[in-house]
Structure 1
């Protein structure tokens, strides 16, 4: 009994000390928070919650606040490991806290860890499906980690069937040990196992896709039969990862240009380290001692085309934009343009679904063979990287403008089965587009020929050094017979006179994104801004002039002649700040309405040099243009006053992403901007109206989610990959999207940057059905209002913006005359739309 009492006293004493320590630590937390010493406060909280876990519910909110503030400090100090350690400790204490999971994901995403970020966002959404911040973060990152082509590819029944048949043939022929390189969802591995393969290995580099494949294999009862490896194939080793060499490699690591996903390099490694040697020609019938690859080979095809849509995204076709002359010495190129001798590794092509490109395309040549490749020939694969470039000469059969070489391929899976990615085929693949750039003249006629250099390097097929050979003399000629109108000639001449001595007529190249080139070609965009900028600056200039003039003391009226004769240069300049995304000449357009001081937020050195050259060519005073980020210690302070005693007259913001969505954090930027405006100053755009309509579109459905088991030949894949579907389809072009309109367009939302009290976080819109069908989506676009009557339509033919669409989880059957109600919610620059009858 004495011992029992002693133990009770000891426990009572321990409990009292624990309570006292917890109490003191909580008091220390409050003192530290008052002093903004978040690191110490966080340490005290860890102690409190480890000693008294029963307090978790009571201190949860202040703990989160402390964690986030301390994480911000660690982030600013680049103490990245300490930051993640803090979050790991927090998640040990609150493993099911969606807010902490979401915040952890945001830090990971900003640092480039997309797979890891996706996992935390996904967990946050599972914990709370109605958490809007986590949903939006997950939707954004899902497009990165599970690219949309996965859904399109898995819905391509023909592609899946051809691969299944080729794999079955190989396994039934005796190739029974299989390695699937780049397994994705694991469908090719499952084809091999169900065909009778004795051992199947599958490797996948993406952490997200690896986890997804693991779930798929479990759901299909094959997790014990297929060994899934989270590793890049060139890092596979025997016997570390697989016990011995395999007889069959299956892969579909091909992109629209065939080689862009590294299939040549991965197969060279496989033949040297993972595959049995290839069967010799004329060898014995048995295959158990030999290796093989599916696909067996490929033929790449090409065609020269004229295409206005490709042209406007890769070549600036104007010499004057809203009064700003473009000198001949400045040449803009898209990222696909790389000089022949350049060491820079860039993807030399873009991709397009040519069957759906706006305006279509015109073939200028017959289709021609670019090259062939045998994936079962190691020496041939090795030769691709070492061979010198070869030249081919292709006759032109039609007159037109040479805009691009388009490329597709025929993938030979085995002797019986092949699939084509031709633009004339209904396939999940897009085509590779090699825009032609750097010629003096792009006009061609029948009988001419186009010459190009073909090489395979840096994992890419390259078509470069494109030139034209005339039918007249058989010589390579760079011609420029395009007529110029007199205004463009005058602009070019003036620019040449101004810059000849200073620049010595040395050409300056400037690389722009394709959307930035399309923007420069969008003349209506710049003309609208010119009108709106002129209206604001003229009003403010007159007001400033009036305030500085003598006022008649008798009549109390202004003297108009004094206003007219006053030298404008004597007035203080008006300040214009352009913080729109990417390369923009809007500051130069504003600079033409002097006296104006314009600030550009472009960051890239070559972009700044291009703007300086344009400024000099258009005879701007040197002090007119400045680069605002050069004045800042912190890029987050971009919206600040140019001087302590000056305010901005105009602030230009980007509200719409080129993808078709509203820019993130735009309302926060607008709130800051309103505080920094001169009286009478404006934010451009002042407001944005969002329009949409109800449509039936099977294409939207197939491009957003896998449609059951049928396209995947009975395998249960859809529920797992569809976890990564998003309700928005972005980068759409409504002019070529296959759809049936079921209603007229209606205004869905108004976002006002100048008058936030006009904004609604939620509104309901009634829509009348004008045609019976099934509603599968709601495409939407915007009118970007610089002024009430001056706006830009993001769905116009000349727009550099694309459109987007909400895709419904389930189609809604409707009949003509029905009325649907759309509930539109706007939260932190994110829009969600739900539909009900």
Structure 2
């Protein structure tokens, strides 16, 4: 009955005092589970429990800076049985409302267009005239990955330079860095170049990707996005317009296909792709399903001198000791379950590979140096290695409990991305051993590494 009353209750206001100066980025929420008058469980970040906390990003304030003694006011409600925080304000700030925004994208200047994009909210209700672009956290992380975009831009430029005369590249310089033509002249000339004989670029990345827009600014190309959601397509169109891309430059590939058509096919009957961008690694740290099959089809659709990005991927791994991974992978004896012997049964269903790990923050002891485990070559299948034995030398004493692995994604020989970099939007994965192996400095272990149907398995021989 109490839960029903909370759900039916109208939004109520909370005022929270600020105890330290800084920037207000988010509101963190946790719960205290009151079992009875004496016993309770807290999901607070200060407690060592299996629970995590909820984070509500703060957006729409004129000024995010706060000082000790300030007051943050917000409305709280349980709409549709979900905790909702809205109308956040700071002292005399204008309120931020998550529910009744009307962000019109029919704006004139580039600044207004960019501001409109920045103001798009993940909200539950919207007027018919409003525009909503909902992005997942992994998509936001990729948009903030500067090395990712720089690396792709450099690699695409290299391919285009080899296929397009330099004068044509200069004519498409809509940034104005190497041309003194005014904006209208550059746009008119680039429209002619794109319409006459463009190069075709296909981005088959999962989710929201701005790589087609980056490609569209590098030369006379037609860049195709594989974005499925209408809201993503609308946002990409706004970004393209704000960056003065001709309308002919960006297109959405799925709109050119029938429902039963395969995604990977020629752009036109008499044309081939100059660049095909494949999503090889999931943000979770695993290999995308059927990526090698997609690469085999893509190789048949490339223009002479065209490339698949990435061209090849190297899998790296190392041996570590990590108590926290053990506790998350299997029930450790009878003590955690108060003497009940459930481990032999429940551990039969444990997950062999843990995903979404962050090695930069994972409590662990490295027991070996990183070692190359496998090579996955998308351009030259003869260089692939589906199975391999790797000898790893121990550099620290301890117990081997897990083998985390990650990837060096080589767009070409000069440009690569390391998915274990702390600034990367990718996370890492790890194989947790059934039984820890005690090792000493100088010992050597042989790893049997297998790649089958986009799955990696690692065992210690």
TM-score class, shorter-chain normalisation, is 0.7 to 0.9
What is the aligned partner in structure 2 of residue 495 from structure 1? 110
| Residues 583-611 of structure 1 deviation map (CA, whole Å, 9 limit, x = unaligned) | 00100000012210011110111110111
> Retained in 2: the 8 A contact 1:384–1:457?
no
What is the aligned partner in structure 2 of residue 578 from structure 1? 203
What is the aligned partner in structure 1 of residue 27 from structure 2? 405
C-alpha distance in 1 between matches for 2:351 and 2:8 = 43
C-alpha distance in 2 between matches for 1:835 and 1:780 = 14
| Residues 608-646 of structure 1 deviation map (CA, whole Å, 9 limit, x = unaligned) | 011111111111111111111111113651111110000
What is the aligned partner in structure 2 of residue 763 from structure 1? 388
C-alpha distance in 2 between matches for 1:648 and 1:607 = 23
What is the aligned partner in structure 1 of residue 76 from structure 2? 454
Determine whether 1:815 maps to 2:440: yes
Q: TM-score, normalised by structure 2?
A: 0.86
1:203-214 aligned within 5 A: none
> Retained in 2: the 8 A contact 1:405–1:436?
yes
What is the aligned partner in structure 1 of residue 154 from structure 2? 531
C-alpha distance in 2 between matches for 1:708 and 1:648 = 56
Distance 1:522 1:729, change over 3 A: same
Distance 1:497 1:726, change over 3 A: closer
Of 764-773 and 427-436, deviating more is 427-436
Larger Rg: 1
> Retained in 1: the 8 A contact 2:390–2:448?
yes
C-alpha distance in 2 between matches for 1:477 and 1:448 = 15
C-alpha distance in 1 between matches for 2:112 and 2:395 = 60
C-alpha distance in 1 between matches for 2:195 and 2:232 = 31
| Residues 695-717 of structure 1 deviation map (CA, whole Å, 9 limit, x = unaligned) | 00111111011122221122232
| Residues 746-779 of structure 1 deviation map (CA, whole Å, 9 limit, x = unaligned) | 1111111011110011111111101111100011
Q: How many residue pairs are counted as aligned between the two chains? A: 418
Higher relative contact order (CA 8 A, sep 6+): 2
Q: Any gaps of 5 or more consecutive residues in structure 2?
A: 97-106, 116-128, 169-188
3-state secondary structure, aligned to 2:334:
coil
What is the aligned partner in structure 1 of residue 142 from structure 2? 519
C-alpha distance in 1 between matches for 2:148 and 2:426 = 11
Determine whether 1:476 maps to 2:93: yes
Measure how far apart 1:437 and its partner are: 2.6
Cα RMSD for the two superposed structures: 2.5
Measure how far apart 1:416 and its partner are: 2.5
C-alpha distance in 2 between matches for 1:462 and 1:630 = 36
C-alpha distance in 2 between matches for 1:592 and 1:457 = 44
Measure how far apart 1:465 and its partner are: 1.7
> Retained in 1: the 8 A contact 2:88–2:95?
no
3-state secondary structure, aligned to 1:622:
coil
C-alpha distance in 2 between matches for 1:421 and 1:615 = 44
3-state secondary structure, aligned to 2:165:
helix
Determine whether 1:387 maps to 2:4: no
Measure how far apart 1:478 and its partner are: 6.7
Determine whether 1:788 maps to 2:413: yes
Determine whether 1:621 maps to 2:246: yes
C-alpha distance in 1 between matches for 2:31 and 2:381 = 53
3-state secondary structure, aligned to 2:235:
helix
1:581-596 aligned within 5 A: 581-596=206-221
Distance 1:499 1:663, change over 3 A: closer
Distance 1:771 1:635, change over 3 A: farther
| Residues 719-741 of structure 1 deviation map (CA, whole Å, 9 limit, x = unaligned) | 22222212101011111111001
Q: Select which of 453, 458, 461 maps to 1:833.
A: 458
More strand by share: 2
What is the aligned partner in structure 2 of residue 684 from structure 1? 309
3-state secondary structure, aligned to 2:234:
helix
Determine whether 1:610 maps to 2:235: yes
What is the aligned partner in structure 1 of residue 100 from structure 2? none
Q: Select which of 37, 53, 56 maps to 1:415.
A: 37
C-alpha distance in 2 between matches for 1:787 and 1:466 = 47
C-alpha distance in 2 between matches for 1:569 and 1:493 = 25
Q: Select which of 388, 391, 404 maps to 1:779.
A: 404
3-state secondary structure, aligned to 1:701:
helix
> Retained in 2: the 8 A contact 1:578–1:653?
yes
3-state secondary structure, aligned to 2:83:
strand
Distance 1:580 1:569, change over 3 A: closer
> Retained in 2: the 8 A contact 1:411–1:418?
yes
Distance 1:544 1:493, change over 3 A: closer
C-alpha distance in 2 between matches for 1:630 and 1:569 = 20
1:54-73 aligned within 5 A: none
Q: Any gaps of 5 or more consecutive residues in structure 1?
A: 1-377, 470-474, 480-491, 501-505, 546-564
Determine whether 1:431 maps to 2:48: no
C-alpha distance in 1 between matches for 2:112 and 2:448 = 59
What is the aligned partner in structure 2 of residue 751 from structure 1? 376
Measure how far apart 1:651 and its partner are: 0.4
